[in-house]
Structure 1
Amino acid sequence: VCSSNKAMSIVEENPTAAVPSPLVRRGTSVNFDEGQTQDDCTECKRSLTVVVIGASGDLAKKKTFPALLALFDQGLLPSSLSIVGFARSKFTQSEFHAKIQPFLKGDEDVVAKFLSHVHYFSGAYNDVESFGNLAQELEVREANSSLLSAANRMFYLAIPPSIFADVIQGIDAKARAVNDGWTRLIVEKPFGRDTDSFHELNNVVAKHFNEHEIFRIDHYLGKELVQNLMILRFGNRIFEPLWNSNHVQSVTISFKEPFGVEGRAGYFDNFGIIRDVMQNHLLQILCLVGMECPASWAADDIRDEKVKVLKCIRDVDMDDVVVGQYGASADGTKKGYLEDPDVPSDSKTPTFAMAVFHIDNARWHNVPFMMKCGKALNERKAEVRIQFRHAPPPLFPGLARNELVISVQPDEAVYVKLMTKQPGLGMKLDQKELDFSYKHNFDEKTPEAYERLIYEVTRGEHSLFVRGDELDYAWQIFTPFLEKLEKGKKKCFTRPLAVWQR
């Protein structure tokens, strides 16, 4: 099921490998960006109000509030802090605390202290006056601080895109920071479902907020190993000279989940696995693997290089696309996708997809970038697998290829597959792994993606967020072949659950 219908011809070329810029200084341990506590950070000494719009929803409860707690526990948020949950539900403050507290893990005293900063405000998303009333409450809380002239406001939109317009208009009209404070807007995916809907959504946001005020979250950019891709490439000279079509046979970017769409089938059926995972998470990884070395660590330098990659991706050949749905398990204990009560019985929405992409530039000429993602598969895993070309003859014909594997989840690791001689009197070769596992090399706890991303918003740092033109080019790549899929130009296979879980 997962094989392409079209044989891929890999043609060797001779692009000149780019010489990396000196992004990383000399030394065994270099700290470019150490987290600053509230005692030594000028920005952290300002008053900060975080408003979580959609505070009663799953995203806010499971991701946003736990991330804020982690930053609070590490002293990375100002002591003059207010966190306000905004939603339509009518809760008292104690009732709201009771709803989010089960998701707040850690020392009981720390959680209690954190909750003393958390408040709740009930209002209508489509009522500008609700945001006016919210602003009055924020001003009262900020007035308790002697730093009113520098009161910053962060708005986290944990809501569906269908209500963005009203909320953004209300924030802009009534609830922006006063005096010298900044206002920053965190926007969650999905950023549309095709080029036209993205433009419509982006125009609404751009009408009320400048690009430097907007932080579009793709939480994969907050994952430790994804952040480490640039360090791996440009901070280790052994890799960059090989990072081109002279030496690389293929690149595979995979995302696998062992569970189905339980609890979110209604949302999922409207978007599918390609829009949910491939067009954003996996495409961002492709950009980091494929891009040239940026001029600096500045956010726009990095994002400029990602845009260059997107502009070079050729149209997807439908012969290089495979889509499918998981069926029921053989024993009937697990239902298939179409048996979910929230999924139409004739749905063609894929739960599995594989597609081959090509970056048409000198570095990556004719190297296939394969992206695979799916639900109800055999394991939870996200990884990048870079397969190198065979060693040249005549000494080692038929040997397995070297591979560089970056494991993003569940275990963060980088390992290299190498050929080696087995101990003994004969000349027997075997493939072994040089394994760099995070859990065996670092004592520090790896921050959760949302923790890192919210921290970067407090700093005004955009490099881990998606710029508007990135999304525009991403949708220009995906919209044509999504339209072909939805017009039935590619059959969506259905296979029993056991087949997908091999």
Structure 2
Amino acid sequence: MNRGSDSLLLFGATGDLAQRMLLPSLCALHADKLVAEDLRIIGTARQDMDDAGYRNFARAALEKFLPAERRGGMGTFLNRLHYQPLDATDQAGFTTLAKKVGPIDEGLAIFLSTAPALFEPTIAGLAASGLASDKARIGLEKPLGTDLETSRQINDAVASAFREEQIFRIDHYLGKETVQNLLALRFANILFEPLWNAAHIDHVQITVAETVGLESRVGYYDGSGALRDMVQNHMLQLLALVAMEPPSSFDATAVRDEKVKVLRSLRLVGPDETVTGQYRAGAIGGQAVPGYDEELGKDSDTETFVAIKAHLDNWRWKGVPFYLRTGKRLPTRRTEIVVQFRRVPHSIFAGKGARSEPNRLVIGIQPEENITLSLMAKVPGLDREGLRLREVPLDIRMQDAFAGPTKRIAYERLLLDLIEGDQTLFVRRDEVEAQWDWIDAIRASWGEHGVTPKPYTAGTWGPSAAIALTERDGVHWHE
């Protein structure tokens, strides 16, 4: 077990992420007695307030975003909170911040959520004030750059003050219970791993669908787009977990070694293997919603939808397409992985008029966490008019299978691992750079071939070209 920290420093402590995720997660961990009693939490941001003001701010956030049944001990949790205003461009402010944090002999965990332009001055301030000591560890929230070059600049800045084993790059999808269960499904069950290869799997689909539009992310999203916002991090991490070889053990080095091998084996995507789109006015859940340009207030060629046909050039997955799809203003909010197995090589029931379908494994990540395996079964009867087969789903709903444990926010696990120093569910630098290398090549191909987003109506599953992307291979998106 790694040495835990006795102080947690939260940058961006008044932001939306802190209100919705970080403070509720920390309060829930406190209520369950999963953090040390003497852990101090120091928030910092530009907003001017004192400890009492921040505690009132945090109370309002908890009452809004944390379910009532999980607010046990909220009063004592608020007593943990302290606050120090900081302008990250003013290096003198870091000296005052260090005094507020106090001695860090027993370890300091830092959660850094900031604009890319502020990474370098923030790291410089931490180093100059002594907060970047060898007893500190730092969690980095995305975005970590906009391409490989800017990502390297940020990583170089962080590496100037922290060793790689002190750096925890956050992808909150890795904190989701079902994502972690994917590893258990593959590597704790002999049923699946012998079949988890090109000989038995026809294709894999990964969908991250959102019903929302820009909301409060106008400035960030228009400069990013769906490819960089979702595919570069969340979706490629899901792909890596699906496709990785069995690690030698469940520790940070072994797991991340196997993930990076997958990312480095991604084949360059051809010009006919991607589809981009941008939503127009339509309806979601019966409610009219504006188009992207209307929400943005100007014309834009930023993609709000992307579909990709990806391949891994390695032994296990040769010839197996991975279809990735993500977008905003789609019909439903859903994140899922579909593993489509091949058909049986010969159906002994065909002569009896029975049709069999290939098995399919669906791993639901959000909004519901479940695993469904479709199997073929005989329809009951005397079969005088022919034998009939039908798909029968085997459903494992996590809330039903594990009725005792509380459903946790993904950041609970990640914050606790940051405090305790476990890097298994965090992303290593070589992973990030392999992801950006592939994404940059796609964007370069779009520029070379003049690819622009195709319009799609809000409330639909993207441009019709996304349907053609799979159907020309005889594949249908799982909807």
User: Residues 187-336 of structure 1: matches in 2 within 5 Å?
Assistant: 187-329=140-282, 333-336=288-291
1:77 deviates by 1.3
1:91 Cα shift?
Answer: 1.4
Instruction: Write the deviation string for residues 120-179 of structure 1: whole angstroms up to 9, x where unpaired.
Output: 11121012221111111222xx5xxxxx7x43211111212221111111111214277x
For residues 363 and 423 of structure 1, what CA distance do their matches in structure 2 show? Answer: 38
Q: Classify 1:486/1:62 alpha carbon distance in 2 versus 1 (closer, same or farther; 3 Å).
A: farther
Aligned to 2:346: 393
Percent same amino acid at aligned positions? 38
The answer for the alignment partner of 1:437 in structure 2 is 397
Superposed CA offset, 1:356-377 (max 9, x none): 1111111101100111111111
Post-superposition offset of 1:494: 0.7
Distance 1:89 1:43 in 2: 32
Closer, same or farther: CA 338–203 of 1 in aligned 2, 3 Å: same
Query: Structure 2: where are the runs of 5+ without partners?
Result: 463-478
Correspondence 1:412 to 2:369? yes
- CA distance in 2: counterparts of 1:387 and 1:322, whole angstroms: 22
Q: Is the CA contact 1:184–1:215 (under 8 Å) kept in the aligned structure 2?
A: yes
**Which residue matches 1:470?**
431
Q: Which runs of 5+ in 1 are unaligned?
A: 1-40, 143-147
1:213-257 CA-to-partner distances (Å, cap 9, x unmatched) read 110000001111111111111110010111011110000011111
Aligned pairs for 1:139-218 (under 5 A) are 139=102, 150-176=105-131, 182-218=135-171
Match among 115, 121, 134 for residue 84 of structure 2: 121
Q: What is aligned with 1:36?
A: none
Counterparts of 1:492 and 1:251 in 2: how far apart (Å)?
24
Q: TM-score, normalised by structure 1?
A: 0.85
Distance 1:371 1:300 in 2: 27
Counterpart position of 1:96 = 54
- 1:353 and 1:374 in contact (8 A); partners too: yes
Q: Mark the CA change 1:210 to 1:264 in structure 2 (over 3 Å): closer, same or farther.
A: same
Instruction: Give 1:98 deviation, angstroms.
Output: 2.5
State the 1:396 CA deviation: 4.8
Q: Report the 3-state secondary structure (helix = DSSP H, G, I; strand = E; otherwise coil) of the residue aligned with 1:495.
A: strand
Q: TM-score, normalised by structure 2?
A: 0.89
Judge conservation of contact 1:359–1:365 (CA < 8 Å) in 2. yes
Paired residues, number = 448
Q: Is the 8 A contact 2:28 2:71 kept in 1?
A: no
Local SS of the residue matching 2:129: helix
- Tell me which residue corresponds to 2:469: none
More displaced, 317-326 or 484-493? 484-493
* Cα deviation, residue 498, structure 1: 3.8
Q: Following superposition of structure 1 onto structure 2, how do residues 9-88 of structure 1 map, counting pairs within 5 Å?
A: 43=3, 48-88=6-46
Displacement of 1:348 in angstroms is: 1.3
Judge which range, 81-90 or 99-108, deviates more: 99-108
Measured after TM superposition, the shift of residue 109 of structure 1 is: 6.0
Q: 1:364 to 1:172 in 2, by over 3 A?
A: same
SS at match of 1:446: coil
User: Which whole-Å CA distance do the structure 2 matches of 1:186 and 1:151 have between them?
Assistant: 17
Q: CA deviation at 1:298?
A: 2.0
Conserved in 2, the CA contact under 8 Å of 1:414 and 1:435? yes
Distance 1:486 1:89, change over 3 A: farther
SS in 2 for 1:482: helix
User: Which has the higher mean CA deviation after the structures are superposed, 380-389 or 157-166?
Assistant: 157-166
Cα distance between partner residues in 2 of 1:333 and 1:434: 37
Distance 1:244-1:343 versus aligned 2 partners, 3 A rule: farther
CA distance in 2, matches of 1:483, 1:268: 19
Alpha-carbon distance in structure 2 between the residues aligned to 1:486 and 1:74: 51
Matches of 1:364 and 1:42, distance apart in 2: 36
Determine helix, strand or coil for the equivalent of 1:313: coil
Aligned CA distance change for structure 1 residues 391 and 108 (closer, same or farther; 3 Å): closer
The residue number in structure 2 matching 1:344 is 298
Cα 1:249/1:495, change in 2 over 3 Å: same
